[in-house]
């Protein structure tokens, strides 16, 4: 939690020195960080490897886009963008509850395999009902219907959204609920023997994770004015896993920092270094392998472990 204070100050001052074009990318990285941290909440704290996390990002994105462009389903009502974002998060949580009630009774690889097909199922709906969802290209939202127009306003909204979301998730992990999450991760059988309703708490973690990923998807739509199937995509899921694993599962703060670094590396830094000669994703996966060899617990967890040994 203490590391958030200097990070917040640094990010708040960035607009003074960073050009607007780069500021736009950093804002997207902050939203992406919420997606990664919410994935760490379910995987790093309860041990349930959810490979379909992008399904809820896409659900939140498309839900808010439809609310802000209701003419696509034949409606004419108007809804405030902020309300549509919150509603999209609630809807994603509701879908997460329904899916969690079914899938979280499965254990081990079975849960992971079932969740892995979720984004593909929802993506197919986008292609089938292309008149509503726009098919492969998605659709745009008119500028007057989004939350903010200027890059600076969008950036600060993304920063506030990231800070509020991460603080809430950190508070949850440090509460009694978070203690039960970790108990389930460490030994589900022992947790059940101690009287913990493991299925209930796994579902709770899944719903919370779905809510924050859904609301992040909705914020992305208002940030870039478009919604498309890339928010369901496998590349996004791999980027989430990459960020969380290198950062250090079960810490939140590690995945937070690393998600910003990884996202900016992919869309900015590595592109300028590679000069189009090699795919930046290949470089990132090589980095993942190297971290897996030399820092298998993730950067944050390895650093904290060394500090504890010194003490």
pLDDT tens-digit readout, 62-81:
999 999 999 999 888 878 99
* SS3 of residue 78 by DSSP: coil
- Confidence band (pLDDT; 50, 70, 90) for 275? low
Mean pLDDT value across residues 184-195: 92
Would you state the structure tokens that stand for residue 198, as one six-digit string? 């493991």
Contact in structure between 28 and 159 (CB atoms under 8 Å): no
Domain assignment of residue 299, yes or no? no
Number of domains observed in the structure of the chain: 1
Domain assignment of residue 289, yes or no? no
Domain assignment of residue 261, yes or no? no
Q: Which residues, at least 6 apart from 276, have a Cβ–Cβ distance to it below 8 Å?
A: none
Domain assignment of residue 37, yes or no? yes
Q: Whole domain around residue 228: which residue ranges?
A: 4-233
Tell me how far apart the alpha carbons of residues 209 and 43 are, in angstroms, rounded to a whole number: 10
Domain assignment of residue 193, yes or no? yes
Domain assignment of residue 270, yes or no? no
Query: What is the value of pTM for the model shown?
Result: 0.95
Note the pLDDT of residue 311: 58
* Higher pLDDT, residue 165 or 291: 165
Q: In this prediction, what percent of the chain has a pLDDT beyond 90?
A: 70
Tell me how far apart the alpha carbons of residues 151 and 155 are, in angstroms, rounded to a whole number: 6
Whether the predicted pLDDT of 114 surpasses 70: yes
Domain assignment of residue 65, yes or no? yes
Domain assignment of residue 255, yes or no? no
Whether the predicted pLDDT of 277 surpasses 70: no
Contact in structure between 54 and 239 (CB atoms under 8 Å): no
Q: Which residues, at least 6 apart from 65, have a Cβ–Cβ distance to it below 8 Å?
A: 139, 141, 221, 227
* Among 93, 74, 83, 64, CA closest to 227: 64
Note the pLDDT of residue 276: 60
């Amino acid at each position: 939690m203490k590391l958030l204070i200097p990070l917040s100050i640094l990010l708040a001052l960035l607009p003074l020195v960073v050009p607007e074009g780069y500021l736009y990318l950093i804002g997207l990285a902050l939203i992406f960080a919420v997606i990664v941290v919410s994935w760490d909440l379910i995987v790093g704290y309860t041990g349930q490897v959810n490979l379909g996390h992008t399904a809820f990002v896409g659900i939140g994105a498309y839900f808010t886009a439809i609310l802000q462009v209701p003419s696509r389903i034949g409606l004419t009502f108007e809804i405030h963008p902020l309300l549509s974002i919150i509603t999209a998060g609630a809807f994603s949580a509701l879908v997460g509850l329904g899916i969690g009630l079914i899938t979280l009774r499965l254990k081990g690889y079975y849960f992971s395999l079932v969740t892995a097909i979720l984004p593909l199922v929802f993506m197919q709906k986008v292609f089938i009902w292309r008149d509503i969802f726009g098919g492969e290209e998605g659709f745009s939202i008119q500028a007057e219907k989004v939350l903010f127009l200027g890059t600076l306003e969008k950036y600060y909204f993304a920063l506030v959204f990231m800070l509020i979301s991460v603080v809430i998730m950190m508070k949850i992990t440090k509460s009694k609920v978070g203690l039960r999450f970790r108990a389930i991760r460490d030994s589900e059988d022992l947790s059940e023997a101690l009287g913990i309703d493991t299925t209930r708490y796994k579902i709770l973690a899944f719903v919370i994770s779905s809510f924050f990923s859904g609301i992040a998807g909705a914020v992305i739509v208002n940030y870039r004015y478009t919604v498309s199937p890339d928010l369901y995509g496998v590349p996004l899921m791999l980027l989430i896993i990459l960020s969380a694993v290198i950062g250090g599962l079960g810490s939140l703060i590690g995945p937070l920092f690393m998600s910003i670094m990884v996202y900016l590396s992919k869309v900015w830094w590595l592109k300028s270094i590679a000069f189009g000669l090699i795919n930046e994703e290949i470089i990132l996966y090589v980095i993942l392998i190297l971290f897996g060899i030399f820092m298998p617990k993730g950067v944050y967890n390895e650093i904290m472990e060394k500090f504890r040994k010194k003490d």
